[in-house]
A and B are shown apart, each in its own frame.
Chain A
Amino acid sequence: MLELVTIFYSVFISTIDDVVPIALIIFATQYFIIRRPVANLHQVIFGFVLVTLGMAFFLVGLEEALFPLGEVMAKQLTDPDFLGVDESLKNVHWQSYIWVYLFAAAIGFATTLAEPALLAVAIKAQNVSGGTVSIWGLRTSVAIGVGLGIALGTYRIVTGTPLHYYIIAGYIIVIVQTVFAPKSIIALAYDSGGVTTSTVTVPLVAALGIGLAGTVPGRSELIDGFGLIAFASLFPMITVMGYAQIGHWKAMRDQRLQKN
């Protein structure tokens, strides 16, 4: 217990280090450039305190509960003994790693739902869109995107195909969807690529990628280990635009049905 308090204290201090520069930039701008007092100053300061405390709790909890377990699981799942892969082979069959893809998809989906930055954007999007984009709709479609992306990313590591082929193909899909998707979703969909991967997903996914590249015969950690986060930022754009397209298509269909 005492150990936990010590960890919490040091994480809390380092979270303050993260928040203070941001708060300084904001308050300096407010007082020296805008030259106006902050409305509800006490409330805003209390909000910053809550955010800092919340982050500290969140990070300590992750480090205590999730990360050690996640890393051990990633290691066990990529272990050639568990998968029954013969390490002496030069080329492994991609199907031997089926549990790894499933784990990647499931953990990508689940951790994205707990990602606070995504929740923040979803709250804003629901407000601004007047409810057309719902908090859960956005979060689920982003989470599906991350799950798909990371699963495909682990497949790429196993097969050792070049990262940029996938990314370029993904970009082409994004461009085509941009042409057809409702205009109001485009900016939000692009944003959801960047918000998916912060506190929860990155450490777990990085552990999985580098662990996998280290155990698959013939892969280099340097060339093949990275790139999972890129997948996790690309696919949500596709699924979020898809979500809006499905919603749009349903609304059109309902309209047609009502007319008939």
Chain B
Amino acid sequence: MLNNYLKQAFIILFSGFKDLLPIIVVVAFFQFIVLQQPIPNLANILIGLLMVSIGLTLFIKGLEIGLFPIGENLAYDFARKGSVFWLVIFAFALGFGTTIAEPALIAIADKAAFLAAKGNVIEANLDAQKAYANGLRMTVAISVGIAIVIGVIRIIRGWPIQYIIIGGYIGVVAITFFAPKEIIGIAYDSGGVTTSTITVPLVTALGVGLASSIRGRNPMIDGFGLIALASLTPMMFVMLYGIFI
């Protein structure tokens, strides 16, 4: 009995470590061999690594018993209910709601506003920066909501993902030529930061669940692709934001 608990505790503490091993190797190599510096605050770093490992293990366990099942069940229920209207509302709410509060997005929006002020794109005061950052966040959140809606409709209809994504790329490239130079890097980056660690598993479970429960859809071909769409639309919308602001 006690043995079993110890084993469980050991798994929780250390099973995430193999995921961290590459980081430890890379950091040690560059720190000791290339930069030839000692590691500052070694104790802090070891505690930190242990916490990262515990965090990964708990997170994955939580996904398996909580987020994956509820995402899939919701998808089954929507498919059975057959209400596209509510599904679309839900999809938008999920995309918008999970993006607007995303810390990575808040960080990048603030940074973009700071640099925009520095580059004289907007006035160099805090109010103007705040307004710019908030507008950027709102733009990205709306675009992710729209992306999930398009993605869900695609799964229902069975449209091939590649046409939508490639069409989207062409859109991105076309808009790039009209966008102010300062916004391009930020716009391209905003695609990558929208999909957070909690959103990704949920959205994936939703897509795979929908594709599995609609007749004629293949979960591998039709179930994935929502995240790709959610990373594509922000690029376009942020550049449009840059053009019109």
Contact = CB atoms under 8 A, between A and B. Distances in A.
A106 B101 CA distance: 30
B62 A48 contact: yes
A187 B62 contact: no
Interface stretch (A29-37, A88-96, A245-253): A29-37
Contacts of A174: 169
B231 A111 contact: no
A58 B97 contact: no
Contacts of B188: 163-164, 167, 226-227, 229-230
B56 to A, nearest CB: 6
Nearest to A228: B189
Contact of B228 (A70, A77, A191): A191
A111 B220 CA distance: 26
B230 A194 contact: yes
Nearest to B161: A187
A196 B48 contact: no
Contacts of B31: 69, 73
A128 to B, nearest CB: 5
A36 B77 contact: yes
Contacts of B14: none
Contact of A51 (B23, B48, B62, B226): B62
B67 A114 contact: no
Contacts of B122: none
B63 A47 contact: yes
Contacts of B204: 120-121, 124, 191
Contacts of B198: 18-19, 22, 51, 55
Interface string A198-235: 11001100100010000000001111111111101100
Chain B contact residues (Cβ within 8 angstroms of A): what range? 35 or more
Interface string A27-71: 001100110101110011111111111111111111111101110
A10 interface: no
A167 B46 CA distance: 38
Contacts of B172: 167
Contacts of A51: 58-59, 62-63, 66-67, 198
Nearest to B235: A230
Contacts of B52: 57-58, 61-62, 65-66, 114
Contacts of B112: 226
A128 B231 CA distance: 22
16 contacts: A17-B101, A26-B71, A26-B202, A39-B69, A58-B51, A60-B48, A68-B41, A69-B27, A69-B45, A77-B30, A121-B200, A184-B221, A191-B226, A191-B227, A191-B228, A222-B182
Interface of A: 4, 14, 17-19, 21-22, 25-26, 29-30, 33-34, 36, 38-40, 43-66, 68-70, 72-73, 76-77, 82, 99, 103, 106-107, 109-111, 113-114, 116-117, 119-121, 123-125, 128-129, 163-164, 167-168, 171, 174-175, 178, 183-184, 186-188, 190-191, 193-199, 202-203, 206, 210, 220-230, 232-233
By Cβ-Cβ distance, the 9 closest A-B pairs, closest first, are A47-B66, A65-B48, A58-B55, A226-B185, A50-B62, A54-B59, A61-B51, A57-B55, A54-B58
Given A110-B26, A206-B108, 19 more contacts: A22-B94, A22-B198, A43-B66, A44-B69, A46-B66, A47-B61, A47-B66, A69-B45, A82-B35, A117-B196, A120-B201, A124-B68, A128-B208, A191-B204, A196-B192, A199-B197, A222-B185, A223-B184, A229-B192
